[in-house]
Amino acid sequence: MQADLIIVGAGMVGSALALALQDQGLEILLVDGSPLSVKPFDPQAAFEPRVSALSVASQRILERLGVWEGIAARRVCPYGEMQVWDGSGTGQIHFSAASVHAESLGHIVENRVVQDALLERLHDSSIGLLPGARLEQLRRSGEGWLLSLNDGRELRAPLVIAADGANSAVRRLAGCATREWDYLHHAIVTSVRCAKPHQATAWQRFTDDGPLAFLPLAGPAGEHWCSIVWSVTPAEAERLMALDDACFRRALGFAFEHRLGEVLQADPRLCIPLRQRHAKRYVEDGLALIGDAAHSIHPLAGQGVNLGFLDVAVLAEVLLHAMQRGERLSDVKVLSRYERRRMPHNLAMMAAMEGFERLFQADPLPVRWLRNSGLNWVDDLPEAKALFVRQALGLSGDLPELARV
Ligand SMILES: Cc1cc2nc3c(=O)[nH]c(=O)nc-3n(C[C@H](O)[C@H](O)[C@H](O)COP(=O)(O)OP(=O)(O)OC[C@H]3O[C@@H](n4cnc5c(N)ncnc54)[C@H](O)[C@@H]3O)c2cc1C
Could you state, in order of their start, the residue ranges of all structural domains in the chain? 5-37+47-180+275-403
Q: 5-37+47-180+275-403: which CATH topology? A: FAD/NAD(P)-binding domain (3.50.50)
CB-count exposure of residue 268 (10 Å: 0-12, 13-18, 19+)? exposed
Ligand 1: list residues with CB < 6 Å.
Answer: 8-14, 31-34, 52-53, 134-135, 163-165, 169, 187, 189, 229, 272, 291-292, 299, 302-306, 308
DSSP per-residue string spanning 282-350: SEETTEEE-GGGTEE--GGG--HHHHHHHHHHHHHHHHHHHHHTT--TT-HHHHHHHHHHHHHHHHHHH
Buried residues in 192-228 as b, exposed as e (16+ CB within 10 A): bbbeeebebbbbbbbbebbbbbbbbbbbeeeebbbbb
Distance CA 140, CA 330 (A): 13
Distance 170 CA to ligand 1 centre (A): 15
Say whether pLDDT at 372 is over 70: no
Give me the pLDDT at residue 88, please.
78
Q: What are phi and psi of 237, to 5 degrees?
A: -60, -40
Over residues 37-46, the mean pLDDT reads 92
Distance CA 10, CA 135 (A): 12
Which among 19, 36, 51, 52 is the best mutation to test ligand 1's pocket, defined by most ligand atoms within 8 Å of the CB?
A: 52
- State pLDDT tens for residues 260-280: 999 999 999 999 999 889 999
- State pLDDT tens for residues 328-341: 999 999 999 999 99
Q: Write the CB contacts of 17 (distance below 8 Å, at least 6 apart in sequence).
A: 7, 161, 163, 290, 312, 315, 316
pTM summary value: 0.94
